[in-house]
């Protein structure tokens, strides 16, 4: 669980909802719905933002919540996490993480969107019933107060569209999207503004736990196929390939 953990130190509302930081609340939600997972947290202010080579080598799925410090995240850490995703580490990008260097690098687009802070009702519609990420979720759920995120959301067409949200003001948003990049699975999920207690809500916690399970690698992370051997491939090289 990577959390920027800066709003929490600066704004009274955020401290009220998340006295131990948003990353801690998100971690508790995963522990609740995915008890077999080992959950750890890391934050912006730690050395290397808490995302050292060793930490990443021991991480199956990373969640990412950031906002004000996007541009201050170290390029080398971004490069390292990016490579790890391509090798197969799962990645869950939350809310304002849409504008992080990491997500923009993986998408190749600006990842811009419309927004409004009016504490208005968000409805989250499940458009992928039967998908592992919607397990146990109803057809729609209500978040009483949220920041509005609206289209046009500048992302590549998702591999799978999971949720579409509407807001009281009339906007819509592709609020749950999956992408595969390299061997890694990515899920973007927009609910979760720091001024509202969204990560305490049952349905939101369940979605994130489901997504962590879905994004977990199915085998030990490995260098890419294209890295594992030299990409130069003499005639018949494949007669030597073997199953694990």
Q: Which of residues 191-210 bind a copy of itself (CB under 8 A)?
A: 202-203, 206
Site string for a copy of itself, 82-101 (x = CB under 8 A): ----x-x-------------
Site for a copy of itself in 161-190 (CB under 8 A): 161, 164-166, 168-172, 174, 179-185
- Least separation in angstroms between residue 184's CB and a copy of itself is 6
Q: Show Cβ contacts of residue 143 under 8 Å, excluding neighbours closer than 6 positions.
A: 121, 122, 123, 124, 191, 196, 198, 201, 204
Q: Cα–Cα distance between 26 and 33 in angstroms, integer?
A: 11
Q: Which is nearer to a copy of itself, 20 or 114 (CB)?
A: 114
Q: Cα–Cα distance between 89 and 70 in angstroms, integer?
A: 21
**Options 32, 53, 58, 154; binder of a copy of itself; rule CB under 8 A:** 154
**Options 32, 45, 58, 159; binder of a copy of itself; rule CB under 8 A:** 159
Q: From 6-14, 17-25, 73-81, 156-164, give the range in contact with a copy of itself by CB under 8 A.
A: 156-164
Site string for a copy of itself, 108-147 (x = CB under 8 A): xxx-xxxxx-x--x-x-xxxxxxxx--xxxxxxxx-----
- Which candidate, 85, 82, 151, places its Cα nearest to that of 113? 151
Which CA distances in Å does 184 have to 37, 82, 136?
A: 18, 10, 24
Dmax over CA atoms of the chain, in Å, equals: 66
How many CB atoms lie under 10 A from the CB of residue 55?
16
Q: Cα–Cα distance between 131 and 214 in angstroms, integer?
A: 9
Does residue 223 interact with a copy of itself by CB under 8 A?
Answer: no
Q: Which is nearer to a copy of itself, 21 or 66 (CB)?
A: 66
Does residue 58 interact with a copy of itself by CB under 8 A?
Answer: no
Q: Which two tokens stand for residue 97?
A: 């993480």
Q: Which is nearer to a copy of itself, 16 or 142 (CB)?
A: 142
């Amino acid at each position: 669980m990577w959390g920027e953990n800066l709003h929490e130190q600066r704004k009274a509302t955020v401290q009220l909802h998340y006295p131990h930081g948003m990353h801690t609340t998100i971690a508790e939600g995963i522990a609740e719905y995915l008890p077999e997972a080992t959950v750890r947290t890391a934050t912006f202010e730690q050395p290397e933002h808490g995302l050292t080579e060793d930490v990443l080598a021991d991480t199956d799925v990373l969640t990412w919540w950031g906002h004000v410090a996007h541009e201050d995240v170290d390029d080398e850490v971004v490069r390292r996490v990016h490579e790890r995703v391509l090798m197969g580490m799962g990645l869950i990008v939350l809310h304002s993480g849409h504008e992080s260097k990491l997500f923009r690098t993986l998408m190749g687009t600006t990842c811009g969107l419309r927004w409004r802070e009016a504490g208005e009702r968000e409805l989250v519609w499940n458009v992928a019933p039967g998908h592992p990420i919607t397990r146990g979720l109803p057809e729609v759920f209500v978040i009483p107060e949220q920041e509005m995120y609206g289209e046009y959301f500048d992302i590549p067409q998702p591999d799978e569209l999971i949720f579409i949200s509407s807001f009281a003001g009339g906007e819509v948003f592709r609020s749950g999207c999956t992408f595969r990049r390299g061997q890694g699975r990515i899920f973007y999920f927009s609910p979760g503004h720091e001024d509202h207690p969204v990560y305490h809500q049952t349905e939101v916690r369940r979605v994130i736990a489901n997504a962590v399970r879905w994004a977990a690698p199915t085998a030990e992370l490995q260098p890419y196929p294209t890295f594992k051997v030299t990409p130069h491939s003499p005639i018949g090289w494949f007669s030597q390939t073997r199953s694990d």
